[in-house]
Structure 1
Amino acid sequence: MHTTQHDTVVVLDFGAQYSQLIARRVREQGVYSLIVPYTISAQELRKMAPVGIIFSGGPASVSTEDSPRPDAGIYGLGIPVLGICYGLQVMSVMNGGTVRRPDAREYGFAHLHLNHFTGKTSRLLAGIPEGSQLWMSHGDSVVDLPTGFVTTGSTPNCPVTVAENEARRLYGVQFHPEVVHSTDGTAVLRNFVMDICGAKADWSMESFIATEVERIRSVVGDRKVLCGLSGGVDSSVAAVLIHKAIGDQLVCVFVNNGMLRKNEAQNVVDLFGKHFNMRLEYVDAETAFLDALKGIAEPEAKRKIIGKMFVDVFYDAARSLGDISFLAQGTLYPDVIESRSPSGGPSATIKSHHNVGGLPDDLKWELLEPLKELFKDEVRQLGMELGLAEELVNRHPFPGPGLGVRCIGEVTKERLDTLREVDAIFVEEIRRAGLYGDIWQALACLLPVKSVGVQGDERTYREVCSLRAVTSQDAMTADWYRFPPEVLQTTASRICNEVAGVNRVLYDITSKPPGTIEWE
């Protein structure tokens, strides 16, 4: 839990797909925000002393008996509350209003009409123009407001689009101000957070670093912390932040499983061991992993073998390091939120780092998770602040089993070496074209198929590779990336000319769904 003295806006989560986006929009104002289950008590909220509370939307209908309801005591705390969509509806019903389901649910764009009322000025809608575009997504609508509330905004299909009770500091909007489709939504949230709540914009990456460094020192004391370093963004940023706090009390273990990208192992050793001067234990386990994978082609079997091997190798390395008290993990805020139990209480399940999941229970290490308050984009920003290169901080996701799940079929050193070269050329050409930042993930796969080709006037019979690049917001859905044809042409030409084992290049245009981003 966040323990600094920064002003905080708490988001009560009613199961909305946009809850995380609301918190991010508040943080973009320089104000700290965190998400809590809607089941939190008014007493617990009072102890947290937030300057404002936001009720998220949610998929439920407020008219059903089992619809989620917050503690009624929240309305009497005197803390400003903003209800969004379902949040407005539940606030209305709990305070004596009426909500009904109209004949058709409203989904999509609408335009705001400002309702001016005698002697009052809407602080929530200050500076919002008449006709402002809104994004609507709701089934129920408020038809009668509770006593003391007034309607300050409406649309043709939704008479109560914005409602306010200035005296009780209760506010609600039927639209979603957190999404980009609501053109002035950020201004509405800013009015609530900065003007109505009076929050100070004092939360930044600089303040986070100072606070977290102090917290890590206080928690760790003179004990040792172990970090499983993968070379990925999250573990890299976590390691650099912890090292800034406790120096050589941090020991990093980097396992080379033989399925890394070209020059990856050397790059990690150079960056963390030499540039950042960290205590880095490098374990070359390539031969052991390849021996374990011999003859295995089934995807899930490969994943399980790679995962178990990693745990065994990591555990053996950790035992040789002496007395370790903490295990550092790059857990992010979305991971923490998603691990909560359905009842809204804290979950006993802890998300494991993708490289150290399944460590034996008898290790008895405490977890140290310095990034658990941050979203992914904030982690990237933090990495830049800590001096990590932009190229590392903004790199595409890479699976824990590495190229082992991109080497379709049996995994051998020869096939991995071929795939490494293909992958390196593909990424290099994407960067050269200035397209890397436009793509969520780019990957190459080596297929268990051979084709006839003609190279240098000779007939060849070599393997086929597929290239894949997708755009996405959260990896739940993804669309294939439309490359300029000349980029694919140059990439394919280089692969066939420079990689001895490949004579045919395919481009994968499958979206997710029906396909997944990775092949295996």
Structure 2
Amino acid sequence: MTRENITNIPGSRILIVDYGGQYTHLIARRIRELEVYSEIVFYRDLNRVNIEDYDAVILSGSHLSVKSLDKDAVETARKILMEGDKPLLGICFGHQLIGYLLGAKLSTGCSEYGRTTMKILSSDELFNGWGNSEVVWMSHGECIEDLPDSITLLAESENKVVAAIKAVVNNRAVYGVQFHPEVHHTVKGRRLLDNFLGIINAKKAWRTENYYRYIIDELGREVTRNGVAVVGVSGGIDSTVTALIGKKLFGDKLISVFVDHGLLREGERELVVSSLEKLGLNPLIVDAGERFISKLEGSTDCEERRRVIGEEFARIFSEIIEKEGAEYFLQGTTYPDIIESGGTRKAASVIKSHHNVGGLPEWFRGRVKILEPLRFLYKDEVREIARLLGVPREIIERHPFPGPGLAVRITGIFTKKKLDVCRRASKIVEDVLGEYGLYSRVWQAFAVVGDDRWVGVKGDARSHGYIVTVRIVESVDGMTADYSKIPYDVLDEISRRITNSIQDVTMVTYAITSKPPSTIEPC
């Protein structure tokens, strides 16, 4: 939404101040799920908005330390807190910032990551519907302590860390929570955010279809009538929805391009082309396997690998754009791509570059206007739009697959042999899950191959083969994830099939680390 028409949005409006936390847009998502419009503004751009247009303010998390925040930013936060009249909720870093500004002491050495049990010490309407002890999701390296009398301690973690506070400033409620209520793994986090909306008497009037209409309206004003556009389609839900939006905008002037970079899953090309043709997106197919793989052979650094893949994609699309005289390039970038590539302005920390974000070279960006209609959406939101557009269920429910393909599921030295092992092992993982009726119940499932070897015995002879790591996770939006507690007999079937059918594998392991601290993909 443009800020010129924000006051025309029905219902209440929440302003989220972004300090570069990787979950900032997840906060916005949760608020919108609760049918209240939310808008994010970078903390250094607060002078561009009128806070009076909003009903409440939420301060996001961050990888920054409160003590490292520049003086102007601290002063701006102080004014919002001490001079403003809007109800305020601080999350993680925002909680620490509120505590610090009200006189609490900042402390290090109190790190907590992942699931943590929290005990509620003081009854408050923010925790309506919560029990005395609940599981929350922590991700912090600093905390507040030595609270002044003006701050009420509402909850503490199992490690005695201040987990929730309340203060009354200028006759309005100010809350802080050290945990992340916006992530799926805080069991009653959604209830807490709904309670906060109740405290501020928020009027609920926001709907998902509103955002889709906004995308069409905004892009319709940006593009030239009869302009030619190119869109990269992989067959995944993100690029498919992007292409359908592009078709609505450009009609027959949209050129869909499917690049076979030789890093696809087994049988993927045939499946993708068939699916796209059913949707009326008849793609131009580019065979570029050798072109990509020759540049990756022998590489060891994953970030460099992502950069190389992004560069090669850009060259291919640039050639097509020049040939067709296209003015626009559409891509299915979603917000998790932006976050992990450090795209949430200067405060963000780069987790890994995505080929369609951090991997896009500057020379390409300057050659064509890039349209990213899904850049502020998460996977489940994209799926909802896909349903609105009539996308078939088999496409909607397909597991996410990274743009760089299997290249990011090979750790250590990239070789064609490891690529073959990875492709075959991943197919087995998916097949077994499908046979047991588990494929659609998990978020993602695949195999990873590294440099490590394990001595085995095959055919009564010593064998020295690869270790394949199986990764199966459950998630709602890809921002946090848990390993799936797959039945042992299913894991056993996966292991036996991989070791029996792939001669170069002698050991199969199962990855049981959540995100965070791990990511879903290995690199």
TM-score w.r.t. structure 2 length?
0.74
Unaligned runs of 5+ in 2: none
Task: Tell whether the 8 Å contact from 1:480 to 1:508 is kept in structure 2 after alignment.
Answer: no
Q: Deviations over 1:182-204 (max 9, x none)?
A: 66543342233245152323232
For residues 229-268 of structure 1, the aligned pairs below 5 Å read 229-268=233-272
Aligned in 2, Cα 1:225/1:87: closer, same or farther, shift over 3 Å? same
Q: Secondary structure at the match of 1:227?
A: strand
Task: Tell whether the 8 Å contact from 2:307 to 2:355 is kept in structure 1 after alignment.
Answer: no
Q: Which range is displaced more, 363-372 or 397-406?
A: 397-406
Measured in 2, the distance between the counterparts of 1:57 and 1:176 equals 9
| Structure 2 letter corresponding to 1:40 | D
Measured in 1, the distance between the counterparts of 2:242 and 2:492 equals 39
Measured in 1, the distance between the counterparts of 2:162 and 2:377 equals 38
- Please tell me whether Structure 1 or Structure 2 has the larger radius of gyration of its CA atoms: 1
Residues 1:211 and 2:222 are matched in the alignment: no
Measured in 2, the distance between the counterparts of 1:34 and 1:333 equals 14
Q: 1:471 corresponds to which residue?
A: 473
Q: Deviations over 1:129-178 (max 9, x none)?
A: 68464858733353132xxxx85956797999543538643422345471
For residues 175-214 of structure 1, the aligned pairs below 5 Å read 175-176=178-179, 178=181, 185-204=189-208, 206-214=209-217
Report the CA distance between 1:254 and its aligned residue: 1.0
Report the CA distance between 1:234 and its aligned residue: 2.4
Q: 1:173 corresponds to which residue?
A: 176
For residues 91-130 of structure 1, the aligned pairs below 5 Å read 91=98, 94=101, 97-100=102-105, 109-114=117-122, 124-125=125-126, 127=128
Report the CA distance between 1:365 and its aligned residue: 1.0
Unaligned runs of 5+ in 1: 116-121
Task: Tell whether the 8 Å contact from 1:217 to 1:245 is kept in structure 2 after alignment.
Answer: yes
Task: Tell whether the 8 Å contact from 2:66 to 2:93 is kept in structure 1 after alignment.
Answer: yes
Q: Which range is displaced more, 77-86 or 375-384?
A: 77-86
Task: Tell whether the 8 Å contact from 1:451 to 1:464 is kept in structure 2 after alignment.
Answer: no
| Structure 2 letter corresponding to 1:220 | V
Instruction: Please state which structure has a larger fraction of its residues in helix.
Output: 2
Task: Tell whether the 8 Å contact from 2:429 to 2:494 is kept in structure 1 after alignment.
Answer: yes
Q: 1:276 corresponds to which residue?
A: 279
Q: Which range is displaced more, 124-133 or 237-246?
A: 124-133
Residues 1:144 and 2:144 are matched in the alignment: no
For residues 328-339 of structure 1, the aligned pairs below 5 Å read 328-336=330-338, 338-339=342-343
Measured in 2, the distance between the counterparts of 1:174 and 1:429 equals 42
- From 382, 386, 394, give the equivalent of 2:385: 382
- From 50, 75, 79, give the equivalent of 2:86: 79
Report the CA distance between 1:53 and its aligned residue: 0.8
Q: Secondary structure at the match of 1:142?
A: coil
Q: Deviations over 1:226-254 (max 9, x none)?
A: 11222333222222233234332321111
Task: Tell whether the 8 Å contact from 1:213 to 1:245 is kept in structure 2 after alignment.
Answer: yes
Q: 1:225 corresponds to which residue?
A: 229
Residues 1:502 and 2:503 are matched in the alignment: yes
Measured in 2, the distance between the counterparts of 1:102 and 1:465 equals 42
Measured in 2, the distance between the counterparts of 1:155 and 1:307 equals 45
Measured in 2, the distance between the counterparts of 1:48 and 1:465 equals 58
Q: Deviations over 1:271-326 (max 9, x none)?
A: 22x21112521112335456x359x33444876665554433332233222x2111
Residues 1:430 and 2:433 are matched in the alignment: yes
TM-score w.r.t. structure 1 length?
0.75
Aligned in 2, Cα 1:2/1:268: closer, same or farther, shift over 3 Å? farther
Aligned in 2, Cα 1:505/1:80: closer, same or farther, shift over 3 Å? same
Task: Tell whether the 8 Å contact from 1:143 to 1:160 is kept in structure 2 after alignment.
Answer: no
Residues matched between the structures, number: 491
Report the CA distance between 1:24 and its aligned residue: 3.2
- From 426, 443, 450, give the equivalent of 2:447: 443
Q: 1:118 corresponds to which residue?
A: none
| Structure 2 letter corresponding to 1:432 | E
Measured in 2, the distance between the counterparts of 1:417 and 1:351 equals 23
Aligned in 2, Cα 1:310/1:159: closer, same or farther, shift over 3 Å? closer
Task: Tell whether the 8 Å contact from 2:18 to 2:60 is kept in structure 1 after alignment.
Answer: yes
Task: Tell whether the 8 Å contact from 1:112 to 1:134 is kept in structure 2 after alignment.
Answer: no
Measured in 2, the distance between the counterparts of 1:103 and 1:360 equals 43
- From 487, 508, 516, give the equivalent of 1:484: 487
Q: Secondary structure at the match of 1:260?
A: coil
Task: Tell whether the 8 Å contact from 2:232 to 2:330 is kept in structure 1 after alignment.
Answer: yes
Task: Tell whether the 8 Å contact from 1:453 to 1:503 is kept in structure 2 after alignment.
Answer: no
Aligned in 2, Cα 1:460/1:99: closer, same or farther, shift over 3 Å? closer
Task: Tell whether the 8 Å contact from 2:474 to 2:483 is kept in structure 1 after alignment.
Answer: no
Q: Which range is displaced more, 280-289 or 440-449?
A: 440-449
Measured in 2, the distance between the counterparts of 1:112 and 1:407 equals 45
Aligned in 2, Cα 1:244/1:463: closer, same or farther, shift over 3 Å? farther
Task: Tell whether the 8 Å contact from 2:163 to 2:179 is kept in structure 1 after alignment.
Answer: no
